[in-house]
């Protein structure tokens, strides 16, 4: 199942099989949190639009990305309606907060790190979309297959922009390694709650 951007080349590890087992057993939670992730992704793009008004290329690309993320949010809701699953409130996972914890606070480091986090998060989402499409069938398989191309493009957009605003390749790679390592640790260690970006189900990790 090929895409324009291969998320696996960016990520430090594959999603453990036990996460996919938990996903099938927690379908409503999976879809609710997926919808929430799409909202948060749109919010990140919008925050960049407001903060960096002096960067025309970033403004154009984030505007498109925000629209696409909100469209994905609508598509998740439509899929839930078709499956007769009710949308509701969920507490956030540890993933997003932990990924952002190492973002530098001064510019241009703050922008570069925010873009790199975006690239890694989108790559992880893309990798999980592909895995879900392979393991589900029918409507859900088709749904996650449709999302693959745009999600892969989003990861590429974030990475391209990070390269534009950080000319030192060594610094860029060093910072990217920080966030790839953080993602790897989060998805390969135990989580007490199942979420779209959660790690190992606690009961499996402990066995």
Q: Is the pLDDT of residue 28 over 80?
A: yes
What does the pLDDT look like over 117-139, one tens digit per residue?
999 999 999 999 999 999 998 99
30-46: b (≥16 Cβ within 10 Å) or e: bbbbbbbbbeebbebbb
Q: Is the pLDDT of residue 4 over 70?
A: no
Q: Is the pLDDT of residue 2 over 60?
A: no
- Prior bond to 14 cis, omega within 30? no
- pLDDT score recorded for residue 3: 40
- Residue 78 in tokens: 């439509």
What does the pLDDT look like over 135-184, one tens digit per residue?
998 999 999 999 988 889 999 999 999 999 998 999 999 999 999 999 99
Do 178 and 117 touch, CB atoms closer than 8 A? no
102-120: b (≥16 Cβ within 10 Å) or e: ebeeeeeeebbbbbbbbbb
Q: Is the pLDDT of residue 23 over 90?
A: yes
Q: Out of 1.10.10.10, 1.20.1260.10, 1.20.120.420, 3.30.460.80, select the CATH number for domain 23-191.
A: 1.20.1260.10
Q: Is the pLDDT of residue 9 over 90?
A: no
Region 100-120: what's the mean pLDDT?
A: 96
The owner of tokens 């948060």 is 40
Region 179-204: what's the mean pLDDT?
A: 90
- pLDDT score recorded for residue 5: 58
| Phi, psi values for residue 191, rounded to 5° | -120, 145
Strands 200-201 and 190-191: parallel
Chain centroid to CA 11: 12
pTM of the model: 0.92
- pLDDT score recorded for residue 92: 87
CA distance 94 to 181: 15
State the Rg of the chain over Cα.
17
């Amino acid at each position: 199942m090929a895409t324009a951007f291969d998320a696996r080349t960016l990520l430090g590890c594959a999603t453990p099989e036990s996460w996919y087992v938990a996903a099938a057993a927690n379908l409503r939670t999976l879809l609710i949190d997926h919808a929430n992730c799409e909202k948060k992704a749109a919010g990140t793009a919008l925050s960049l639009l407001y903060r960096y008004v002096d960067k025309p290329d970033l403004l154009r690309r984030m505007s498109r990305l925000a629209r696409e993320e909100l469209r994905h949010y609508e598509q998740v809701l439509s899929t839930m309606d078709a499956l007769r699953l009710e949308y509701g409130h969920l507490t956030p996972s540890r993933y997003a907060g932990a990924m952002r914890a190492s973002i530098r606070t001064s510019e241009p480091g703050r922008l570069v790190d925010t873009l790199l986090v975006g690239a890694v998060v989108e790559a992880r989402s893309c990798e999980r979309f592909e895995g879900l499409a392979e393991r589900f069938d029918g409507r859900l398989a088709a749904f996650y297959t449709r999302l693959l191309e745009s999600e892969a493009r989003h990861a590429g957009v974030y990475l391209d922009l990070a390269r534009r605003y950080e000319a030192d390749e060594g610094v860029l790679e060093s910072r990217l390694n920080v966030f790839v390592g953080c993602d790897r640790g989060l998805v390969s260690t135990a989580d007490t709650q199942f979420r779209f970006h959660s790690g190992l189900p606690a009961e499996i990790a402990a066995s």
